[in-house]
Amino acid sequence: TTRVGHGPFPTELQNEMQTLEDYVEEYIGPEVSLDRKGHSSGPYTVKKGDKIRVGEMLQELGHEYGTTTGRRRRCGWLDIALVKYSALVNGFDSINITKLDVLTGLKTIRIAISYRNKQMTEVRLPRGYFPSHLEDLKEVVCEYETMEGWSEDISQCTRWEDLPTNAKKYVMRIQELLDIPVSWVGVGPERESMLRVNVPSRIGSPLPGSPFVPPLR
């Protein structure tokens, strides 16, 4: 998830100035080195075994800079509550996931599956809940689910079937949590890097722990 400008961002890991504490994880992917013109720390380089700041990695490997301003975008873990709300407002019947390749190398990947009240973290807010006011959004903390990452370079994959098992599990888990089919995933910047997801969805099946809601008559 990314955001430009000010305002609450529940899953934020790193800000525009790269001054947040960030989430540290082991990098298990191929070595990467990117030039960062004018950056005080020089090129951005990661190699297997490094302890990396995940938010910074998403910014740099994902090229999360404003096209016009050149400012870094704020980056964080995927926020399921936010995406579900967007789908509700816009009437999505399927979604595409882009920049899956940017997650390559993270030993584990987190997904924010629901919100909790910051003042009473033992209380999980209803699944799909999204605050109606920004001030209320400031008062939530995220409940996370952790999944295993993958080490393989997926940027050259040309079919869904070519993706590593853990990458496919991540995509399918997003589909399950959103209850919306994932139609395409992107593994690079080119048009040919969009892969059709050839997996029948089980949309409408209740998630584990979800209350039974009888169909309307």
- Mean pLDDT in order along the chain per 10 residues (217 residues): 83 92 97 87 94 96 88 94 92 95 98 90 79 90 96 96 97 95 96 90 52 39
The 3-state DSSP class for residue 46 equals: strand
Cα–Cα distance measured from residue 182 to residue 197, given in angstroms and rounded to the nearest whole number: 7
Model pLDDT, residue 211: 42
Give, in order, the Cα–Cα distances in Å from 186 to each of 26, 102, 154, 171: 24, 10, 10, 11
Model pLDDT, residue 40: 81
Nearest one of 111, 103, 115 to 147, comparing CA atoms: 111
Cα–Cα distance measured from residue 128 to residue 217, given in angstroms and rounded to the nearest whole number: 23
Q: Model pTM? A: 0.88
- Environment class of residue 98 by beta-carbon count within 10 Å: exposed (0-12), middle (13-18) or buried (19+)? middle
Model pLDDT, residue 209: 47
- Environment class of residue 185 by beta-carbon count within 10 Å: exposed (0-12), middle (13-18) or buried (19+)? buried
